[in-house]
Chains A and B, each alone.
Chain A
């Protein structure tokens, strides 16, 4: 029997002004799973992610570990769902360890005092992301890839079992991207439910169980990766042809600017 999903979104719609950015999208993600959000630029991946994270107002229903999201206070929600944005606006000269410690905010008392749990959660998060060597360096002086690791550590420090990552491999070199995806795989293995927006279909195929293909704010196709990263839906949404036999390589069937 399948376990109850850690995160469930039903008929999610996001409207900003007169624009409908997301239209009636539903997903369910279980512990141990990685679900990839795939689609061209502007498809609604980040919008969907932000609605799940509670940043954008939405219509529809989100259930987090059995709790309707709208009934949860901010702190309660932060203990269930952690979000790693595509671009963090944090640029203060804080130590990386202090940034990771922000992840414990929802666990602190009214005076903001750190507990023994905080120290071990921060150490564990730095260890799990292999970012211990960055802990005493100023966050503002880290490279882009190093910042992403620290932000992932901050997400882990929250203790949340649902992780949302918006294009975590964008602008990372191959080695860093693979390393980060392996860590996500490890986290899923430890019982986290991971939702990750990705652009590279080979990464989706190798590291994710299921995928949701979006176009113009609508779900085109959802299910096991083999069904979503397949010739027909990829051709329909991206206008590119998957090359059989080439390890999820793809070539454009229309020339740029044509």
Chain B
């Protein structure tokens, strides 16, 4: 299939998913009194899911490329857990009035996520210098993730004292775009757009890195620099995604795997396709989360996990079959 056709199909899917998400949900659009409010709420959710999905999917493509490991996701760097912890602290600060009045309340959460991701990234960079191997980078990311998750558990326990705060922290941890406002979406937008373009600009280098770091060096790649910058941009993307969508699993893992058999492994083609499909996937998952018949709205992270895990297992089984049967 020609790449232009693939992009056209993915774009059509995205538009259809967004239209469906705007049209379907609790409350009827035929009521003139509710119509505008409902559309505004749903449009904000669609925009948030679109940004988060695109950011996480492209983050997945890039980390899988730079580490030459199809089983890693953006969370491997520890910046996802860092951003999540930053978001949890931001919720505490809001509830305890510690955020002050200098920062608009809707921007406290995104800024907390960015700060958390930034601190995590800083620690990662201190430990992983120019000639540090990929294994050290992955292990450092894993240790940081474990540390931040443990501290996040402590924050959750602190929030137990207040019912609203406790609900907000748990909802953020499980993922969701229900509470995301238009200003949060607008705050995350430049980070996602710049992050996507920056990752795309590194796509030629990522292609050469598929040959391994040693061969890439002999072909002219400044491997340390490439790894450092791509890690930075993935951190920017994931922190922006978490700021608008909380913890959402499997998008960065599954979307690249679905696309590679269709568009190939070259990142210049893969990154735009991942942005489109990642956005579509999360918009549809959010729609399921909204309309699923239950007492409360399903957490978005639960929906992506329930869909993503079996899909990933299927793709894994299919790739093993292809290897075995040539």
| Given contacts A85-B214, A102-B208, A112 and B268 within 8 Å (CB-CB) | yes
| A78: chain B residues within 8 A (beta carbon) | 218-220
Give the CA-CA distance A46 to B215 in the complex, in Å.
14
Contact A93 B264 (CB under 8 A): yes
Contact B219 A103 (CB under 8 A): yes
Give the CA-CA distance A78 to B203 in the complex, in Å.
19
| Given contacts A78-B219, A85-B215, A158-B219, A92 and B268 within 8 Å (CB-CB) | no
Give the CA-CA distance A112 to B206 in the complex, in Å.
11
Shortest Cβ gap from B169 to chain A (Å): 41
Q: Which residues of B201-220 have CB atoms within 8 Å of chain A's CB atoms?
A: 201, 203-205, 207-208, 210-212, 214-215, 217-220
Contact flags B92-133 to A (C-beta < 8 A → 1, else 0): 000000000000000000000000000000000000000000
| B201: chain A residues within 8 A (beta carbon) | 110-112
Picked from A83, A105, A158, the residue with its CB within 8 Å of the CB of B221 is: A105
| A99: chain B residues within 8 A (beta carbon) | 211
| B220: chain A residues within 8 A (beta carbon) | 74-75, 77-79, 105-106
| Given contacts A89-B212, A102-B207, A94 and B265 within 8 Å (CB-CB) | yes
Contact B217 A55 (CB under 8 A): yes
Contact flags A86-120 to B (C-beta < 8 A → 1, else 0): 00111011100011001101101011100000000
Give the CA-CA distance A106 to B215 in the complex, in Å.
13
Residue of chain B at shortest CB distance from A79: B220
Residue of chain A at shortest CB distance from B214: A55
Q: Is A81 an interface residue (CB 8 A)?
A: yes
| B217: chain A residues within 8 A (beta carbon) | 53-55, 74
| A92: chain B residues within 8 A (beta carbon) | 210, 265
Q: Is B164 an interface residue (CB 8 A)?
A: no
Interface size class of B (residues with CB under 8 A): 20 to 34
Q: Is B266 an interface residue (CB 8 A)?
A: yes
Residue of chain B at shortest CB distance from A81: B218
- Counting chain B CB atoms within 10 Å of each CB, which of A112, A154, A158 scores highest? A112
Residue of chain A at shortest CB distance from B326: A141
Q: Is B40 an interface residue (CB 8 A)?
A: no
Residue of chain B at shortest CB distance from A114: B204
Give the CA-CA distance A247 to B249 in the complex, in Å.
66
Q: Is B222 an interface residue (CB 8 A)?
A: yes
Q: Is A38 an interface residue (CB 8 A)?
A: no
| A89: chain B residues within 8 A (beta carbon) | 68, 211-212, 214-215
| A85: chain B residues within 8 A (beta carbon) | 214-215
Contact A88 B215 (CB under 8 A): yes
Picked from B210, B215, B218, B268, the residue with its CB within 8 Å of the CB of A94 is: B210
- Counting chain B CB atoms within 10 Å of each CB, which of A53, A79, A105 scores highest? A105
| B210: chain A residues within 8 A (beta carbon) | 90, 92, 94
Residue of chain B at shortest CB distance from A109: B204
Give the CA-CA distance A48 to B217 in the complex, in Å.
16
Contact B204 A106 (CB under 8 A): no
Contact B265 A93 (CB under 8 A): yes
Contact B222 A90 (CB under 8 A): no
| A55: chain B residues within 8 A (beta carbon) | 214, 217-218
Give the CA-CA distance A102 to B210 in the complex, in Å.
10
Q: Is A36 an interface residue (CB 8 A)?
A: no
Residue of chain A at shortest CB distance from B202: A112
| A54: chain B residues within 8 A (beta carbon) | 217-218
Q: Is A22 an interface residue (CB 8 A)?
A: no
Shortest Cβ gap from A119 to chain B (Å): 15
| B218: chain A residues within 8 A (beta carbon) | 53-55, 78, 81-83
Give the CA-CA distance A78 to B216 in the complex, in Å.
10
Give the CA-CA distance A112 to B207 in the complex, in Å.
10
Give the CA-CA distance A75 to B203 in the complex, in Å.
17
| A53: chain B residues within 8 A (beta carbon) | 217-218
| B221: chain A residues within 8 A (beta carbon) | 74, 105
| B268: chain A residues within 8 A (beta carbon) | 112
Give the CA-CA distance A14 to B167 in the complex, in Å.
60
Contact A105 B265 (CB under 8 A): no
The 24 sampled A-B contact pairs (Cβ below 8 Å) are A53-B217, A54-B217, A55-B214, A55-B218, A73-B222, A74-B217, A81-B218, A83-B215, A85-B214, A88-B211, A88-B212, A89-B212, A89-B215, A90-B212, A92-B210, A98-B266, A102-B207, A103-B219, A105-B204, A105-B219, A105-B220, A106-B219, A112-B201, A112-B203
The 9 closest A-B pairs by CB, nearest first: A112-B204, A106-B220, A78-B220, A89-B212, A83-B218, A75-B220, A90-B211, A92-B210, A92-B265
Q: A74-B220, A94-B266, A106-B220 are in contact. List 16 more A-B contacts (CB 8 A).
A: A53-B217, A53-B218, A74-B221, A78-B218, A78-B219, A81-B218, A82-B218, A85-B215, A88-B211, A88-B212, A89-B214, A102-B208, A102-B219, A105-B208, A112-B203, A112-B205
Residues on A facing B (Cβ under 8 Å)? 50, 53-55, 73-75, 77-79, 81-83, 85, 88-90, 92-94, 98-99, 102-103, 105-106, 108, 110-112, 141, 154, 158
